[in-house]
Structure 1
């Protein structure tokens, strides 16, 4: 019999043009430990080239409760252990941010700790209405990692982000949607179905243009309008020269639906 510790923490499968990655440790709320970080990084690196979207899901009632605090408590050198886990987890965040195709997430139940940064790194997030989002670091005497401080400050602004993190507060799904941390709210029993549908919708689109758009949006808050205009001009020229852009323009002129999948 295979014990819980021996089962994969992360499951992957190809669903047509979607590379589906599922956190698969529901008995622990998909808590993050070194094995989860390694397996999730491997899942992003192993994405089949033919897939056009990544879909990130979590098995069970909770998407991810953040770091596995029980492993922190059992470490002989907690500083070294947590520091290495943060280093490994940050590699996951970088892989999400640099993914060459759009990343869609479907989240439910609880999003806590480092999982907040993971959600913030995804391009499109479908969130169940009853989801609670909680940084939770202050409850165990730690400062944030995993890009959580970046994601929350970016979405909420510094005053609200500090209020949330310094008081060990909780964001409802409605608040997360209002502030822009998540893009879509759906009923609890629809989250996976809606996220799958969205991932397939994105996969049918101009994914390379979407990735260029993602880059523009992420940089917009940290540079001048002149810098943004220069980058927009460069990237729209790249898009116009790209087979996707050529196909999109031809389809518009010919009054038909573009076939971005065939634009190589």
Structure 2
């Protein structure tokens, strides 16, 4: 339906989720938060990756500031919205399949937090990323402070957030905030190709790898070794792992889709 802020479509093994409120710059309001959460929950079990895209010139401008301005109780209204949006971020983090995002145009405010919740972010070369919260007297939400601190380090993250600075795509790639930068007119094709490639792979091993990489920044090496041993044993016992080993021995390409 055209009046819905999020559009979904199964493209083979890929569940494509598209922010579709171009008129507002895909601003985060209660309807957007509810629709995106529902879109993620509605993923068909047969799909093996999520691809997050957006319509219009801007990927996501962050919170609906015009809505904040008309709220009778701004603190309560913004608090409820942040709580709802944070459930979306948690759903991305906990997705049982890999998540790819293709971002373009402006990524601001709570939209920045989405980048940290996705597994691989493909970024159009003209993209500009801006925390934006300081401009309206707010602190960050949506995981934005976590995302920036982990990518840039505390000093650079504070500089960016406190001065309402902007990162271009090259800077975002250099600091590790996004994984790949492509020409604007190649973004959708590149992100789609990557999502399909991950969907064809060992998705449960990918999810285990995600857990290890995200956990590595808060664990000691000793703790990490324990988790690596546990998860590689799970992978070896998994039908995906069995198929991968058989294919290697038989000198053929593995078919991980059969490894249910």
Give TM class, smaller chain. over 0.9
Task: For residue 65 of structure 1, give the secondary structure of its aligned residue in structure 2.
Answer: coil
Aligned residues: 260
* Separation in structure 1 between the aligned mates of residue 182 and residue 212 of structure 2, nearest angstrom: 27
| TM-score, structure 2 normalization | 0.99
* Structure 2 match to 1:169: 165
* Structure 1 match to 2:244: 248
* Separation in structure 2 between the aligned mates of residue 49 and residue 174 of structure 1, nearest angstrom: 36
* Structure 2 match to 1:233: 229
* Structure 2 match to 1:9: 5
* Structure 2 match to 1:136: 132
Task: For residue 67 of structure 1, give the secondary structure of its aligned residue in structure 2.
Answer: coil
> Is 1:117 matched with 2:113?
yes
Deviation at 1:156, TM superposition (A): 0.5
Mapping 1:24-43, distance limit 5 Å = 24-43=20-39
Mapping 1:1-264, distance limit 5 Å = 7-264=3-260
Deviation at 1:172, TM superposition (A): 0.7
Deviation at 1:234, TM superposition (A): 0.1
Task: For residue 99 of structure 1, give the secondary structure of its aligned residue in structure 2.
Answer: coil
Task: For residue 47 of structure 1, give the secondary structure of its aligned residue in structure 2.
Answer: coil
* Separation in structure 1 between the aligned mates of residue 89 and residue 139 of structure 2, nearest angstrom: 17
Task: For residue 113 of structure 2, give the secondary structure of its aligned residue in structure 1.
Answer: helix
* Separation in structure 2 between the aligned mates of residue 191 and residue 27 of structure 1, nearest angstrom: 21
| TM-score, structure 1 normalization | 0.97
The Cα offsets for residues 91-140 of structure 1, whole Å up to 9 and x where unpaired, read as 00000000000000000001000000011110011000110000000000
* Separation in structure 2 between the aligned mates of residue 135 and residue 143 of structure 1, nearest angstrom: 9
Task: For residue 178 of structure 2, give the secondary structure of its aligned residue in structure 1.
Answer: coil
* Separation in structure 1 between the aligned mates of residue 228 and residue 38 of structure 2, nearest angstrom: 32
Deviation at 1:61, TM superposition (A): 1.0
* Separation in structure 2 between the aligned mates of residue 40 and residue 188 of structure 1, nearest angstrom: 24
RMSD: 0.9
For structure 2, list consecutive stretches of 5 or more residues without a partner in the other structure: none
For structure 1, list consecutive stretches of 5 or more residues without a partner in the other structure: none
